[in-house]
Amino acid sequence: MNIFGYSIKLDKTLATGRAKQKNAALSRKGSDIAGLYAALALTLLVLFAGCDNSFSIFKSISQETKQVGVDLFKNVTVRAMANDAANYYALLGQVVWRPIDGSASWNVLSVNGSTDYFAAGLASDGAKVYVAKANSNNVLVDVYKTIDSGATWTAMNAAASIGSSAAVDWLKCANGTLFVAFHASGTYSLYYYDGAAFKSAGIANISRPLIDIVWDGSEYWAISDSAAYHGSAGAMTEDTAPALAQGLIGLATDSAGRVLISRSDGLVYSLQSGAWTQITIKASTKLGPLFLLTQPAATKTIMVGKGIATYGYYEYDETGTGSLKENGSNYISTSSSVYLSTMLSKHVIGFWQPSNDANILYVMLAAGGTDSYALYKNIFDPTANAGAGAWSGWTAE
Amino acid sequence: MKKKLVAAAIVLLVLCIGMVWAQDSADPFAANRKKGSQSIEISPGGFLPLFVLDSNFAMISTPNMSPGAAFSVLYRYMLGKNLGVGGSIAGSFVTTVGGRTLFLAPVCVSSTWVFGTDPMEFDISAEIGMNVMRLSGNGIISPIAKLGGGISRYISESWSIGGKLMWWFVPELHLGSYANLNSYASFLEFSIGAQYLF
């Protein structure tokens, strides 16, 4: 009996232990299942949060067009463009050109009798074309001018004025005047060509790099990445209103008194009739280069590059209260599919229109490593869309 | 007489060898086609876009997609001699004429009808599930259905190798006022695979 009694007691103890283990196991199982459900819910939440009901994947793909451009523009950066009456020019490591009438394809431009050079800058006023040549250390060799589409060149003896150790950052023509931004000994300066020699524009030995210069119809405006300057060619002074330390990125004008400056905080500063106003393009979002689109005339559109990792550009329609368009959705300059297959992941270097044709728009891109093109063209057809006009969408050059 | 004895000996020898062979290696086809048998199949292969229909079921003339690749993992549990159920996960991509890449990642439940004679095995399977698609940073979750079949050959009791063709039907569904963006795509997955049976 004792044996049986002991046995029964042991059985009860074991049964109690098993029940506790079972309860613990059930508790663990319940906890595991709850964790699994939570993980599943979180996964679904993340997946659904990444969905866009307004974006059609297969429709977007079906609207794509195959882009076949010139190999010269594949995996490169187009840094500037220019034109004269006969040709378009684009600045890569060298200057390439093609006839405006399309009678020949892009080719390397021979500058002063040579195609073996490094070009640090390119500019034109619509008639004259300027190319800054540099040596292998990016030090200025000279600025060359042609008035006959590259048939003959004139050396402008720029190094004598600018200095023999200067590195050219960019050339730009504004209001028919050639400007040269350069750096030397860690400081940055802006010079202009007065018809006989290069002279200081009034911005000399500043600590931050210069970005761009425009003519607003009555005076010049230039920006460094931290401050804005304005005035006549030889006497530009700082304007503190839009200043932002290392935060100024783009400059544009309508050449009729309005100046726009894009910043790294998502704001565009707009100057009109002597007063600055702010336009929030996208709050707390770094912007890029600016361009004022004049077509269609019924809309007021600011095109501004993205300074964020996805790159590409925004279109901001100033009509009414203003609206931001991004990722090609409702763009007036292209369709969503064309935008996504041409611009995405490429840094916009700038927008450019020929001096003699407001119905052509180019976008210059940094396409290195994308196995895609760096220069795209868009053509405005004034007769399309029942006379309202429409842009064709980007096509690889 | 001597020749008959030799012939009889050869026949006997062959029969003995056959019996020994049969004892040493059980029929894998029968062994893996019973309730509770399980298998995992890994299949890499190609992925062909076939056609795309718009929201009105009209064919889109330019699907603009090029062939890509697919990879799938399938688990199967046999409910009987011929019927198996399970699940699959897969990943695939196609490129587009604009230089973009469309990724698809479906997760499905599957049912399979298995038949054949040793050592060959045939199967017809149907799968339904959910599919995550990504294109240039945009995502869609959609339902998906797959239908197809395969052929495989046992190379041991635990392994078989073969190939399969699966037709993917991928409806892209949008809600509310965006229903006009609905479209229906189909793809063909062709793959070779290795199946582990346990």
CB contact under 8 A, B52 and A58: yes
Surface-to-core class of residue B22, CB atoms within 10 Å of its CB (0-12 exposed, 13-18 middle, 19+ buried) = exposed
**What is the predicted pLDDT for the residue at B80?**
87
Task: Please give, rounded to a whole number of angstroms, the shortest distance from the CA of B123 to a CA of chain A.
Answer: 31
Q: Is residue A384 part of a domain?
A: yes
Going by C-alpha positions, the residue among A84, A110, A73 that lies closest to residue A95 is A110
Lowest mean per-residue pLDDT among A278-282, B9-13, B69-73, B80-84: B9-13
- What's the rounded Cα separation, in Å, for the pair A288 and A276? 19
**What is the predicted pLDDT for the residue at B15?**
43
Q: Which residue of A has its CA nearest to B104?
A: A57
Going by C-alpha positions, the residue among B108, B113, B94, B98 that lies closest to residue B189 is B94
- What's the rounded Cα separation, in Å, for the pair B95 and B64? 9
**What is the predicted pLDDT for the residue at B119?**
81
What tokens were used for A76?
A: 């490169």
- Number of helices (H), then strands (E), in chain B: 2, 8
CA dihedral in degrees (A201, A202, A207, A211; nearest 10)?
-40
Q: Is the ipTM of this complex over 0.90?
A: no
Q: Evaluate the CA torsion angle A66, A70, A74, A76 in order and state its sign.
A: negative
What tokens were used for A377?
A: 């063209």
- What's the rounded Cα separation, in Å, for the pair A385 and A341? 24
Surface-to-core class of residue A164, CB atoms within 10 Å of its CB (0-12 exposed, 13-18 middle, 19+ buried) = exposed
- What's the rounded Cα separation, in Å, for the pair B68 and B65? 9
Q: Is residue A381 part of a domain?
A: yes
CB contact under 8 A, B98 and A66: yes
Residue A361 has pLDDT above 50, yes or no: yes
**What three-state secondary structure class fits B15?**
helix
Residue B128 has pLDDT above 90, yes or no: yes
Chain mean pLDDT for chain B = 84
**What is the predicted pLDDT for the residue at A4?**
41
**What is the predicted pLDDT for the residue at A336?**
81
Q: Is residue A302 part of a domain?
A: yes
What tokens were used for A64?
A: 């794509």
Return the percent helix, strand and coil in chain A, to nearest 5: 15, 40, 40
Q: Is residue A194 part of a domain?
A: no
Ordered by start, the domain boundaries in chain B are 1-27, 32-197
pLDDT bracket for residue A29 (50, 70, 90): low
CB contact under 8 A, A61 and B141: no
What tokens were used for A235?
A: 């006497």
CB contact under 8 A, B98 and A341: yes
What tokens were used for A15?
A: 């049964």
Of chain A, the percentage scoring pLDDT greater than 90 comes to 66
Helix (H) or strand (E) holding A254: none
Neighbours of A151 (CB within 10 A): 8
Q: Is residue A121 part of a domain?
A: no
Number of domains within chain A: 1
| A344 vs A74, residue with greater confidence | A74
**What is the predicted pLDDT for the residue at A2?**
40
Q: Tell me: the pLDDT tens digits for B104-127? A: 999 999 999 998 877 888 999 999
Q: Is residue A347 part of a domain?
A: yes
Neighbours of A16 (CB within 10 A): 10
Give the A:B interface size as CB pairs under 8 Å.
Answer: 89
The residue assigned the tokens 């009791």 is: B157
Task: Please give, rounded to a whole number of angstroms, the shortest distance from the CA of B94 to a CA of chain A.
Answer: 11
Residue B12 has pLDDT above 80, yes or no: no
**What three-state secondary structure class fits B24?**
helix
CB contact under 8 A, B64 and A64: yes
Range of the domain at A396: 286-397
**What is the predicted pLDDT for the residue at A348?**
95
Q: Is residue A192 part of a domain?
A: no
**What is the predicted pLDDT for the residue at B1?**
45
N-terminal to C-terminal alpha carbon distance within chain A: 102
Spell out a b/e string for A170-205, using b for 16 or more CB atoms within 10 Å of the CB, else e.
Answer: bbbbbbebbbbbbbbeeebbbbbbeeeebebbbbee
pLDDT bracket for residue B10 (50, 70, 90): low
Q: Tell me: the pLDDT tens digits for A255-298? A: 999 999 999 999 999 999 889 999 999 998 999 999 999 888 88
Lowest mean per-residue pLDDT among A34-38, A128-132, A199-203, B6-10: B6-10
Q: Tell me: the pLDDT tens digits for B141-190? A: 999 999 999 999 988 888 899 999 999 999 998 888 888 889 999 999 99
CB A201 within 8 A of CB A233: yes
**What is the predicted pLDDT for the residue at B154?**
87
Q: Give how far the C-alpha of residue B195 lies from the chain's centroid of Cα atoms, to the nearest Å.
A: 10
Chain mean pLDDT for chain A = 88
Fold adopted by B32-197: Porin (2.40.160)
The residue assigned the tokens 């996504």 is: A340
pLDDT bracket for residue A102 (50, 70, 90): very high
Task: Please give, rounded to a whole number of angstroms, the shortest distance from the CA of A225 to a CA of chain B.
Answer: 30
Say which of B100, B132, B135 has its CB closest to residue A47.
Answer: B132
Q: Is residue A336 part of a domain?
A: yes
**What is the predicted pLDDT for the residue at A297?**
84
Neighbours of B108 (CB within 10 A): 23
**Which residues of chain A are within 8 Å of residue B100 when distances are taken between CB atoms?**
61, 64, 340-341
Kindly state the average pLDDT of the residues B92-108.
92
Q: Tell me: the pLDDT tens digits for A232-244? A: 999 999 999 899 9
Residue B100 has pLDDT above 90, yes or no: no
What tokens were used for B8?
A: 């009889």
